[in-house]
Amino acid sequence: MFVSMSMLLLSSSVAMTLAVTNTTTASSTSPISSPMFQLSSDAEFAFILEEYLSLANNQGANTGEVLRIAAQIVPGDYESFYLAFYEMAERIHTIAEGVSLSKDPVGVREAHFRAASYYRGADFFLHGNWSDPRIYTLWEQQLTSFNKAIALLEPVPGGRFSVQTHSDNVGDYDVIGVFYKALECNDSLPTILVGNGYDGAQEESYHSACVEILKRGVNCVTYEGPGQPTVRREQNIGFIPDWWTAASPVMDYLSARPDVDMSKVALVGVSFGGTLAPRAASQDDRYSAVVAIDGLKSIQQVIEQQLPDELMALFNSTNSTAFDQVFTYIQGDDTYPTEFRWLIDWSLFAFKTHSAYDWFSRLGDITMSKEIVANLTMPVFVAKGQDDTLTLQEPEQAYKMLTTQRANGEALTHWHEFNTSLGAGEHCSIGAEAQLWQVVMEWLSGVWGDVSYANSERH
């Protein structure tokens, strides 16, 4: 019965609407039909290439290298995506290893940063098969290159740290992070703790966030918890709803450092991290502010709005077998849009489950709920890209909840929409990091008592 129901869904015209609404097939996507010029006729490939191209703004890529990668990728072909990124990563890694460290440490550092980025790109579409060894070997390669790069940062190298914690959902685990000190001094400095989202690595956050933060003489700290790329691989645990068990131990770590001004620590969440950060802050009032960049009230609602009623009926009736069969079919059928197939592959991997029903059920436990919002006592900044089609109206809903469902919400909540005409309207304002962080840092200056930032260019 379950098989026939699944096949009925899949053979109907309704099933073909399973793709998210902003995704079209490779043959019908125009490079100039989007707010930003597309580097692939596959919409998902184009978005990821845009993301990697944006890293060139802050030493994580070179434009010529990314454009060369894009020229070698066949739309919709996961293996061509892997090969194009991997071959570039290997060649840039060879350059990094061949440069004289004593003569040109800058050249070594920058090449290792770029190699790390390209190793991550090579990994991006491989998660449908958990037994694929490249999922782990590529990650080790990116970590090795990235660690070599941050060891050469000036005036202070970046430093890895790990803190132990406990979740009732997964037991004991370690939160892993990197501390980037803004200035070579003993002063207690304002500090920003950055958490990435559904699939982003904290190594990427150095280029997309920390470089801009550090320029202003503010410490930057990145961290990863369960379900995020390195913790998922190294500790074999998926996403959890009690995200405060990941963030609060980092705050404990920061409180023991004399170079951190604990009265000026802001928690930033990017994309899905914009859901995780408020959840963490709802159980820890030590944060002076929370920033949700394209934060979502509920990522489950985003996906639900784009699934056909027949499939949601299976979910709501707890018909897990049929629900799983539909998603398994789509995973193996490359006629479905890349964005949706990738979402299934990564979600099952990140939640450490082979059941789409289990994933989607657990996803519903990670939201910006009324109870979470009511517990947020600090100022909260909510941002959205004007043409961010990935989050639908979720940032607006989050903002409304934050203004209406907590004490003094209107005074404590700030909204900012980044403009497409200025190139900042994509998801998380990808490619316009200088604009994004100028606005965020200006707001934080006010929260912190009109603090003036130091002009601290790091190398």
pLDDT of 247-273, one tens digit each?
999 999 999 999 999 999 999 999 999
Q: Domain check: are 168 and 248 in the same one?
A: yes
Q: By C-alpha distance, which of 20, 18, 16, 19 is closest to 390?
A: 20
Tokens of 212: 């801009």
- Over residues 129-152, the pLDDT tens digits come to 999 999 999 999 999 999 999 999
pLDDT band at residue 407 under the 50/70/90 scheme: very high
What distance, in Å, lies between the first and last C-alpha atoms of the chain? 62
| pTM, rounded to two decimals | 0.92
pLDDT (mean) for 78-83: 98
| Residue 430 domain-assigned (yes or no) | yes
In a domain, 192, yes or no: yes
Query: Residue 84, Cβ neighbours under 10 Å: how many?
Result: 23
Read off the CATH number of the domain in which 399 is found: 3.40.50.1820
Judge whether 249 lies within some domain.
yes
Judgement on whether residues 87 and 161 belong to the same structural domain of the protein: no
| Domain contains 354 | no
Rounded Cα distance between 321 and 307, Å, is 17
What is the Cα–Cα distance from 316 to 3, expressed in whole angstroms? 18
Give residue 89's pLDDT band: very low, low, confident or very high (50, 70, 90).
Answer: very high
Domain end call among 96, 123, 152: 152
pLDDT of residue 393: 85
Q: Residues 155-160: what's their mean pLDDT?
A: 96
Residue 382 sits in the same domain as residue 287: yes
Q: What mean pLDDT comes out for the span 276-296?
A: 96
Residue 80 is part of a domain; what is its CATH number?
1.20.1440
- pLDDT tens digits, 364-384: 999 999 999 999 999 999 999
Say if residue 162 is in the same domain as residue 252: yes
Residues 264 and 130 in one domain: no
In angstroms, the CA 112 to CA 61 distance is 10
> Can you give the pLDDT at residue 9?
42
Give yes or no: residues 145 and 160 share one domain: no
Final residue before a domain boundary, out of 152, 170, 202: 152
Q: How far apart are CA 391 and CA 38, in angstroms?
A: 19
Look over the chain and give the mean of its residue pLDDT values, rounded to a whole number. Answer: 92
**pLDDT given at position 25:** 40
Calpha distance 346→343 (Å, rounded): 5
Exposure pattern of 169-198 as b/e (b: 16+ CB <10 Å)? bbeebbbbbbbbbbbeeeeebbbbbbbbbb
Q: Which of 345, 349, 336 is nearest to 307 (CA)?
A: 336
Amino acid present at 156: V
Do residue 391 and residue 242 come from a single domain? Answer: yes
Q: Looking at the structure, do residues 258 and 220 belong to the same domain, yes or no?
A: yes
- Could you tell me the CA-to-CA distances from 280 to 101, 114, 262, 269, 379 in Å, in that order? 41, 32, 17, 10, 14
Tokens of 68: 């060369």
226 and 93 belong to one structural domain: no
How far is 141 from 201, CA to CA, in rounded Å? 14
Select from 108, 135, 152 the last residue of a domain: 152
DSSP result, 127-163: TT-TT-THHHHHHHHHHHHHHHHHTT-SSS--EEEEE
Do 126 and 51 sit in the same domain of this protein? yes
pLDDT class of 387 with cuts at 50, 70, 90: confident
Which two structure tokens, joined as six digits, stand for 209?
């966030």
- Assigned domain for 369 exists: yes
Going by pLDDT thresholds of 50, 70 and 90, the confidence category of residue 29 is low
- 195 vs 271: CA distance, rounded Å: 9
pLDDT at 11: 39
The answer to whether residue 403 sits within a structural domain is yes
- Domains of the chain: total: 2
Separation between Cα atoms, residue 275 and residue 298, nearest integer Å: 7
Q: Examine the domain organization and report whether 251 and 395 are in the same domain.
A: yes
Residues 236 and 216 in one domain: yes
Residue 95's domain comprises 32-152
